[in-house]
Amino acid sequence: MSQTGSYSFPIDLFSNDERKLLQECIHCGLCLPTCPTYVANGMEMDSPRGRLYFMNAALGGRIGLTDSLIKHTDLCLICRACESACPSGVRFGQLIEKTRDLVSPHRKQTRINKWISNTILRRVILSHRTLSVLAGIIWLYQRAGIQWLTINTLIKYLFPKKIRALQNTLPQIPLKRFGKNKTQIFPATGEKQGRVSLFTGCVMDHIFPNVHASTIRILNWNGFDVVIPKEQTCCGAIHSHSGDLEMTKQLALKNISAFNDNTFDAIIVNAAGCSAQLKDYHHIFPNDPEVERFIKKVRDVTEFLSEIDFRIPESPLNQKVVYDEPCHLIHAQGITKEPKKLIDNLPGITLLPLMESDHCCGNAGIYTVTQTEMSIEILDRKVNFIKQSGADLIITANPGCQIQLDWGIRRQNLSMNVLHIVELIDSMYQNEPNYPTTINL
């Protein structure tokens, strides 16, 4: 075990509960076949059990913050599949995020890492206006078809090499984006059943505004007023996974304040990674009544639609589909029956089985950029199973998964589409009289 670049582990920054969690691993190995990195390379150090061993060894003073510890904890996707498999209830995601927070000052900062942490995570993502400008530039770049400029000309040296190589992972950026200039209210269609708010996040406003529009139309059609508070911000999931827990706290406080309205029946989220993060705010602020009230109202959109008297679309759509389960829906929130039940109830839709549907697709936020080779290996395995399923359409419930799966089918030249589950439902409602077909973004 390499001790190169070893630093002392700040044990006092782990809470007593977190230290107890580390001790609860019984080394049974049930987590191993669920871990994408272990399945990919078979290395014990890249399994949950191996990473917990590293953390325990560091806490016990047997090793310091070694380069090896940092390498193997960074390779983790934090998909939390190991939590679903663990008989001891070890909250692995919480532990590895804390570990990354502690090691971040000692991590070797490559040019790309500095660009991500200092520019993307702390500036661009947190500014709706800056994201809008960036999205506009990318839209123009894609529309003009000038990708060759960043490959074959001197302009390429203005961009990090990895970013140039990964430009094909981006989906087509839409021209219109979801606005946050003011709080927006979209009234229910027909008989009113309730009033909900919609968490729109950050990147989704600019890459998947159509998913927000579909969500609003569906909620309106099922009798709910939808309110979008302008003060909301990024959920903090990417910051948390990257080990920037201080910024995660700041974002959590802002969102809790933005949704502090007792008239909301629920806070609806259509991104599984975001809904998982919002529900995890109690780990950041334990025993806080205001935080607990906030969390109790957070509902993933699939969860909420399963709880209400959902209107089944009248027009059938004859499609064979597979549902790829987002990690932070199934493993972080335990939501698996609800989306599949929704799909099963759609007329004309045949839901086919998908091998390893509960395994990560390899996106994991910024993982595609920071751990590109492993991300591609995990993605190609996933797409091979999708190809074998015989499906016409891939359904998921998380924007990161949509981006990754879309890239995967383009890599293998498959003639398939990837849709968010609300896009599928929305498309089936379109032929019904009085359905709200447009939304003012």
Q: Which amino acid is at 163?
A: I
Instruction: Give CA angle at 370 (202, 360), nearest 5°.
Output: 75
**134 vs 401: CA distance, rounded Å:** 21
Tell me which fold the domain 11-106 belongs to. Fumarate Reductase Iron-sulfur Protein; Chain B, domain 2 (1.10.1060)
Tell me which fold the domain 319-429 belongs to. Rossmann fold (3.40.50)
Q: How far is CA 255 from the centre of its chain?
A: 17
CB atoms inside a 10 Å sphere around CB 160: 18
* 109's tokens: 């900062």
Query: Using one digit for the tens of pLDDT, what is the confidence trace for 358-417?
Result: 999 999 888 888 888 999 999 999 999 999 999 999 999 998 999 999 999 998 999 899
If you count DSSP H runs as helices and E runs as strands, how many of each does the chain have, helices first? 24, 9
Q: Determine the straight-line distance between the first and last CA of the chain, rounded to whole angstroms.
A: 54
Q: What is the pLDDT of residue 110?
A: 60
Residue limits of CATH 3.40.50 in the chain: 319-429
Query: Using one digit for the tens of pLDDT, what is the confidence trace for 313-355?
Result: 999 999 999 999 999 999 999 999 999 999 999 999 999 999 9
User: Which residues are CB-contacts of 407 (< 8 A; sequence separation ≥ 6)?
Assistant: 168, 169, 379
CB atoms inside a 10 Å sphere around CB 274: 27
The architecture that CATH gives domain 184-307 is Up-down Bundle (1.20)
The DSSP element (H or E) to which 56 belongs, if any, is: helix 48-59
CB atoms inside a 10 Å sphere around CB 401: 28
The DSSP element (H or E) to which 165 belongs, if any, is: helix 161-165
Residue limits of CATH 1.20.1050 in the chain: 184-307
The DSSP element (H or E) to which 191 belongs, if any, is: none
**356 vs 200: CA distance, rounded Å:** 29
CB 79 within 8 A of CB 331: yes
Q: What is the pLDDT of residue 3?
A: 41
Query: Using one digit for the tens of pLDDT, what is the confidence trace for 281-313?
Result: 988 898 899 999 999 999 999 999 999 999 999
Q: What is the pLDDT of residue 14?
A: 72
Query: What DSSP string describes 354-371?
Result: -TTTTS--S-TTTHHHHT
Sheet containing 393-396: which strands, arranged edge to edge? Answer: 349-352, 319-323, 393-396, 417-420
217 or 24, higher pLDDT: 217
Share of the chain above pLDDT 90, in %: 54
299 or 96, higher pLDDT: 299
Query: Using one digit for the tens of pLDDT, what is the confidence trace for 217-253?
Result: 999 999 999 999 989 999 998 888 877 888 899 999 9
